[in-house]
A and B are shown apart, each in its own frame.
Chain A
Amino acid sequence: MGADAYEAEVTIVNRLGLHARPAAHFVRTSSRFRSDVYVSRDSVEVNGKSIMGVMMLAAEQGSTLRLRAEGADAEEAVGELAALVGRGFDEDDEGRPVER
């Protein structure tokens, strides 16, 4: 198994930031991949499959996160997670889910 590693830098765009529901959405998505996923903000890096970790980042709107994945499907993992963050976790300004 090739230990591929991929990284991407993303910016939180949704108004409420990475609060409980987006964090849940993020973790559900990252957990679908076999690769290990890490997320870091400033000097703090957390396990991207741990909701406690992701929430710990307390990432509000405008903050920059670095996504890193290691494993066979690392590229897809980073791609999909970056897209999810970029879409603002499919929620509106009030934190309600919106149709894609």
Chain B
Amino acid sequence: MSDETILRGLGVSFGVAYGPAYLIAPDALRVPRRAIDEKAVEDEIARFETALVKTRTDIERVRRALIAAQNPDEASIFDSHRLILEDAELLESTRDLIRRERVNAEHAFDARVMDCIQRLGRSQNAYLRERIRDIRDVEHRVIRNLLGEREPAAGDLMQNAVLVAHDLPAALTAELDRDRILGFATEVGAANSHTAILARALEIPAVIDLGPILSRIPHGVPVILDGREGLLIVRPSEATIAKYERVRAKIERKRAEWVSLADVPGATADGHPLTFLANIEFPREVDAALAFGCEGVGLYRTEYLFLQSGGEASEDEQYAIYRDVVERMAGRPVTIRTIDLGGDKLLTGMEAEENPFLGWRAIRYCLDRPEIFRAQLRAILRAGAHGPVSVMLPMITNLEEVDEALEHMAAARAALDAEGVPHAASCPIGVLVETPAAALLADDLVERFDFLSLGTNDLIQYTLAVDRGNRRIAHLFQPFHPAILRMIRDVAGAAERAGVELTLCGEMGSNTRAAALLVGLGLRRFSMVAARIPRVKQVLGRIGLEEARQAAQEALGARTAKAARRIIDERFADRFWHAAPKNGGRDEPGAG
């Protein structure tokens, strides 16, 4: 008999994991009570003070991590946590109790906190629950520190566990580490959230949107997480465990096979070279990216740096981090995108806007904050002294922005020259074409820039007027839409005529069907989540350039996205999978 339970959600990062569930839901806390010898009372108070200091450090660390993880709103909650922790009355009455009743600090602090909570609880006010939670949160931290237990956020406690949480706490997003966390399952979440993207990049299996599960899963119970099918299996039976052991072994074989393909040069079936680059956000992604055979970084997102330091990443800090990436890439090119803040990524002090994706973001923000922009350009140029770098400008919509940005670039270079600071001898500069305006201006852009990149995620969103985070219209986010295909064809044409390098760095390139079509539309360079490179390289290696062109030509004439997709499916059905996929291509993240 087995009491196995299968919970269904949305798999956002592939792979499977088997281990104990680690629930991130602080609830009952075991507080011991001990009598303290009279002579030891002051030591006990000292122990209390030490725990307070440690807790203050912990809270500060979480607060910083939240800011880093783009969650300033939640970070401000920790301001009140800090004040609770510094509350003179609470602390003094705790010390009093330790002295008067000669009890251990855990018990005394718990008793005082309980007094407060009980008084709060007597009121009917609806907001009290929130306050009680804040107070309990702080209490738990202090008591865990007194007991010498580690914070769950510190990672070690959940070594080799599957995290189960309502939403993955932003603080943990920053600490996600494949060597420590088997995978994570959450009640809510979005497929293209920062967390999901990071999970994919770090190859951590993840299932989100499972609905209310926390109350159904006891802490520590064995679970299997299936990121391919979007399942969380609680108390799996022996048979299920055995089945997943085989799945895991197969995935590992596959990964090993893919990694072994890393050194195979990318090319179409008829030998036209293709280049595969990685999209990264953190220096620590570089090693995995190289293992998967990336030939460089086609998109290095830098927002994280600014959110991490609360908006004040200095030139020197940036330089150190860019240099780290450049050096780890050992001579392979690194394309750094200047900060794409705004939209859904806000710095403290940036106002939430009515319509953030059409608002003060990316290049618009940079040009209004020349000191920030200039510092970033200088840091990039300086990192360029250690290996090839280039600069990519996001969200360009007109040529005034282009001229202004190029002036800043020239000025940054001139200033470094004048100061005698070493910097890149050559640093190509390009545009991330992600607005319809930029796509239509491609002929003008190629005259001014060294390269173009296609940011299909935003290009599709802006062209089709679809917020893909909005579930009711997510089906309208169609990479195969005729308008998108024609736009890409035109940008590719402009780049080719001018002899300017063009790289596609949206998620569209990591979808094998879309990638086949893109080759036919003229794309030769793809930048994507590194883990997808071997698979896309493998599929494109089975398709000849001429047949890709013909298929693309036919798809361009299709009336609908569905029809265009069907054309690719039918033409290349035998190239996509070794055996027929039983689930109709569920292996395709992104542009499915």
Residues of chain A having any CB pair with chain B under 8 Å: 16-17, 19-21, 23-24, 27-28, 47, 49-53, 55-56, 58, 60, 96-97, 99
Contact = CB atoms under 8 A, between A and B. Distances in A.
B80 A56 contact: no
A19 B83 contact: no
Contacts of A99: 351
A33 to B, nearest CB: 14
Interface string B343-354: 000000001100
The 3 tightest CB contacts between A and B, nearest first, are A24-B80, A58-B125, A51-B83
B84 A52 contact: yes
A52 B127 contact: no
A56 to B, nearest CB: 6
Nearest to B80: A24
Contacts of A49: 88
A53 B89 contact: yes
Contacts of B130: 19-20
Contact of B83 (A24, A56, A60, A96): A24
- Chain B contact surface mostly: helix
Interface stretch (B115-123, B141-149, B230-238, B387-395): B115-123
B31 interface: no
Contacts of A27: 83
| Most chain B CB atoms below 10 A, which of A24, A55, A60, A96 | A55
Interface residues of B, number: 24
Contact of B84 (A17, A51, A96): A51
Contacts of A58: 120, 123, 125, 127-128
B77 interface: yes
Given A17-B125, A50-B90, A60-B125, A23 B116 contact: no
Interface of B: 73, 76-77, 79-80, 83-84, 87-90, 116, 119-120, 123, 125, 127-128, 130-131, 134-135, 351-352
Contacts of B79: 21, 24, 28
Contacts of B80: 20-21, 23-24, 51
A58 B129 CA distance: 11
Contact of B131 (A55, A60, A96, A97): A55
A55 B351 CA distance: 28
Contact of B89 (A16, A19, A20, A52): A52
A3 to B, nearest CB: 20
Contact of A52 (B73, B135, B351): B135
Given A23-B80, A58-B125, A50 B131 contact: no
Nearest to B134: A20
